[in-house]
């Protein structure tokens, strides 16, 4: 039997927005406990979040003090919307949806590998202002996730937003490692390898592999060739001078109009992706794609 004639289901479908779901009684008591019992150092945050869905926790993080008047001050704050848009092209709920989807890909890959994410040491490579690191608080305290970024501005913004994790500046090509070898069970790099030249990508993948423990996972995003059909990238491509571009059967890389030869926009073929991972000592486990974010393909790799 269809649901068209069931007014209760139709009524739920017409809810005003995500904020209505934060008030859902099924997890209201868990949110109240989080507000009442959250430790100052966030050491018990994952335990208290077990009854709170990831999307709901993310919605709370958009405005912690609104939903948690007593303990909201302990959680990270969001940067202004103009900063979110400038850095990611999205802000607020749309950016949250993209972030949650990527975290779920990591969770799925970890579960397939038999990893208990609550016990995993994690690296957020290219931490930015910590939009993914803060979501990971649902699964483990700040001490279990480290962040690094090649830009001082990213580290400063993360700290100004109240990110409690260990944060360090990293070498742009990971020629020097920010953390010891074989430290991490899981590492991710969202929208990093969508902007690095092939040479930079090769060096960085190798560095990340060295920081993974045997059996560890690295999840990162890449762009398909169809990315160049978008209006803005096409404009960048048409304005680039030949010495700023690399176009062959493996890569299309367009350096941004800056002095950094390693930074721009890039797409790659399946053969190029396989070759890069093989050279870095990483095995491709799976690829994931979403209609909600079609130009960022998530690649799950493992160090065997």
pTM for the model: 0.91
Domain membership flag for residue 3: no
User: Rounded to whole angstroms, what are the CA distances from 287 to 64, 71, 134, 211, 290?
Assistant: 33, 38, 24, 22, 11
Domain residues for 39?
9-74
Does residue 96 share a domain with residue 44? no
Domain membership flag for residue 266: yes
Q: What is the pLDDT of residue 5?
A: 41
Does residue 94 share a domain with residue 68? no
How, if at all, do strands 297-302 and 251-255 pair? unpaired
Give the domain-ending residue among 46, 74, 102: 74
Helical segments of 89-217, H only = 92-113, 131-135, 152-160, 198-211
| DSSP 3-state of 4 | coil
Radius of gyration of the chain (CA): 20
Does residue 142 share a domain with residue 284? yes
Give the bridge partners for 184, in sequence order.
212
Residue 224: both structure tokens together: 């398909």
Give the bridge partners for 286, in sequence order.
300
Residue 123 DSSP symbol: E
Q: How far apart are CA 119 and CA 239, in angstroms?
A: 48
Per-residue model confidence as pLDDT tens digits over 243-272: 556 677 899 998 886 778 899 999 999 999
Per-residue model confidence as pLDDT tens digits over 161-186: 999 999 999 999 999 999 999 999 99
CA terminus-to-terminus distance, the chain: 49
Short-list 177, 187, 185, CA closest to 150? 177
Short-list 129, 139, 154, CA closest to 106? 139
Does residue 162 share a domain with residue 70? no
Does residue 62 share a domain with residue 109? no
Does residue 183 share a domain with residue 37? no
Does residue 132 share a domain with residue 63? no
Q: How many other CB atoms are there within 10 angstroms of residue 180's CB atom?
A: 9
Per-residue model confidence as pLDDT tens digits over 95-111: 999 999 999 999 999 99
Owner of token pair 């150092």: 41
Q: How far apart are CA 131 and CA 100, in angstroms?
A: 10
Q: How far apart are CA 304 and CA 215, in angstroms?
A: 5
Does residue 209 share a domain with residue 112? yes
Q: What is the pLDDT of residue 75?
A: 98
Does residue 116 share a domain with residue 192? yes
Residue 226: both structure tokens together: 């169809």
Does residue 154 share a domain with residue 41? no
Backbone region of residue 281 per phi and psi (left: phi > 0; alpha: psi in -120 to 50; beta: other values):
left
Does residue 57 share a domain with residue 204? no
Q: What is the domain-level CATH number for residue 104?
A: 3.40.50.150
Give CB contacts under 8 A, 24+ apart, made by 283-291.
285/109, 285/112, 285/113, 285/217, 286/109, 286/112, 288/105, 288/108, 290/101
Q: What is the mean pLDDT of residues 30-44?
A: 98
Q: How far apart are CA 130 and CA 132, in angstroms?
A: 5
Q: What's the distance, CA 127 to chain centroid?
A: 8
In this prediction, residue 230 has a pLDDT band, given cuts at 50, 70 and 90, of confident
Domain membership flag for residue 80: no
Look at the chain and report how many structural domains it folds into: 2
Give the domain-ending residue among 43, 74, 105: 74
Q: Are 75 and 162 in contact (CB under 8 A)?
A: yes
Domain membership flag for residue 56: yes
Per-residue model confidence as pLDDT tens digits over 202-226: 999 999 999 999 999 999 999 998 9
């Amino acid at each position: 039997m269809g649901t068209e004639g069931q007014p209760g289901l139709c009524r739920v479908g017409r809810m005003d927005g995500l904020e209505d779901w934060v008030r859902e009684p099924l997890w209201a008591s868990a949110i109240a406990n989080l507000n009442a019992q959250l430790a100052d150092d966030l050491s018990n945050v994952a335990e208290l979040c077990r009854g709170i869905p990831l999307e709901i926790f993310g919605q709370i993080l958009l405005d912690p003090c609104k939903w948690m008047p007593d303990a909201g001050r302990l959680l990270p704050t969001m940067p202004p919307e103009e900063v979110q848009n400038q850095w990611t092209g999205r802000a607020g709920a749309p950016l949250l949806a993209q972030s949650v989807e990527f975290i779920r890909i990591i969770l799925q890959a970890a579960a397939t590998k038999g990893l208990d994410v609550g016990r995993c040491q994690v690296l957020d490579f290219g931490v930015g202002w910590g939009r993914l690191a803060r979501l990971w608080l649902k699964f483990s305290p700040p001490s279990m996730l480290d962040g690094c970024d090649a830009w001082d501005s990213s580290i400063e913004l993360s700290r100004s937003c109240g990110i409690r994790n260990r944060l360090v500046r990293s070498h742009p090509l990971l020629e020097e490692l920010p953390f010891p070898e074989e430290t991490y069970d899981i590492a991710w790099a969202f929208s990093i390898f969508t902007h690095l030249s092939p040479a930079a990508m090769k060096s960085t993948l190798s560095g990340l592999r060295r920081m993974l423990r045997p059996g560890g996972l690295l999840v990162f995003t890449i762009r398909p060739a169809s990315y160049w059909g978008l209006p803005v990238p096409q404009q960048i491509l048409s304005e680039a001078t030949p010495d700023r571009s690399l176009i062959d059967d493996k890569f299309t890389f367009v350096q941004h109009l800056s002095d950094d030869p390693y930074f721009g926009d890039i797409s790659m073929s399946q053969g190029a992706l396989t070759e890069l991972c093989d050279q870095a000592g990483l095995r491709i486990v799976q690829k994931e794609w979403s209609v909600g974010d079609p130009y960022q393909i998530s690649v799950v790799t493992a160090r065997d």
